[in-house]
Amino acid sequence: MKKFCTLFTLVCAVSLTLSALPKSYAANGSAVATVQGGGISVAVSHLGMSNIKLGVNPDGRYTTTGLVEFTTHDNRGTAGGWSVSAALSDFSQRGVGDPTSGNSNISVKLNEVYTYLALVGGDGQYWPGGGDAQYYLSTTPETISVAEAGFGMGFASMTALQHTMILTSTATITEISGSGSKYALGDVIGIPAGIYEATLSTNINSGI
């Protein structure tokens, strides 16, 4: 019995000694990162359109094409979705020399112009109808791209073919400056040669 007690005491002593030596220690804490929402925007860049030469097409119809690149930036961090709309103004030319008077200039706009956009590249998931869809442009904004809620976050790029058809060789006078012109506003005339410009406007709206 005495021998057992001695042995027991020794074992206890060793155990106490071992437990008194710490071997590891852990600590933890919560790292905190606050991410704030940024803005939402759309940008468009036009990569130019091919020239039209009058008189080449005997039926008086002309076509021209160009590439348009849309980029959207949704940095709100909400995944609220968005829609992009586009509108195209009339193709017009200003400061054209008035052939009926040496003292005046005219502004004209092309008649019967039809323009549509067709997806040719970029991330097609945001385009309703997929890559085959075409969007006719007019002076009234039309939705050309949609990101459903939960999608379209960050940066997205879309490239479209802008296909413009001019179905007649006529233009309408929209402005007359100077004196002595034989034209009146609204007169329809043959297309004066020159550079015609239209403004492609885009807008991005939150949600869809």
Partner 1 sequence: MFKKILMVLASSLMLTPVANAQDVNSSVAISSGNLEISFVAPTFSPITISDTSPMIATALNQNVSITDYTGSGDGWSATVSADNFTLGLTDPTYSNGSITVSFPASSLKLSGMTASPSSDSPPVHPTYGPASPSEVVLSTSPQLLSSSQPGFGMGKYALNVTYSLNVPNEATIVGMDSSGSLYELFDKTGLFAGTYRSTVTMNLMAGV
Which residues would be at the binding site for partner 1 (CB under 8 A)? 20-38, 73-81, 148-155
Q: Which is nearer to partner 1, 30 or 140 (CB)?
A: 30
Alpha-carbon span 60 to 47, nearest angstrom: 26
Smallest gap from Cβ 44 to partner 1, in A, equals 17
Instruction: Identify the DSSP state of 7.
Output: H
Q: Which of 54, 52, 87 is nearest to 189 (CA)?
A: 54
Specify the DSSP element, H or E, that contains 158.
Answer: strand 154-166
CB of 76 to partner 1, least distance (A): 7
Q: What is the side-by-side order of every strand in the sheet holding 142-147?
A: 142-147, 82-88, 200-206
Closer to partner 1 by Cβ: residue 1 or 35: 35
Q: How far, in whole angstroms, is CA 152 from its chain's centroid? A: 12
Of residues 152 and 198, the one with the C-beta less far from partner 1: 152
Q: Which one, 18 or 56, has the nearer CB to partner 1?
A: 18
| CA gap 88, 165 in Å, rounded | 13
First to last CA, the chain: 88
Residue whose CB is less far from partner 1, 128 or 180? 128
CB of 65 to partner 1, least distance (A): 30
Q: Give the burial string for 36-65 (b: 16+ CB within 10 Å, else e).
A: eeeebebeeeeeebeeeeeeeeeeeebeee
Q: Which is nearer to partner 1, 125 or 174 (CB)?
A: 125
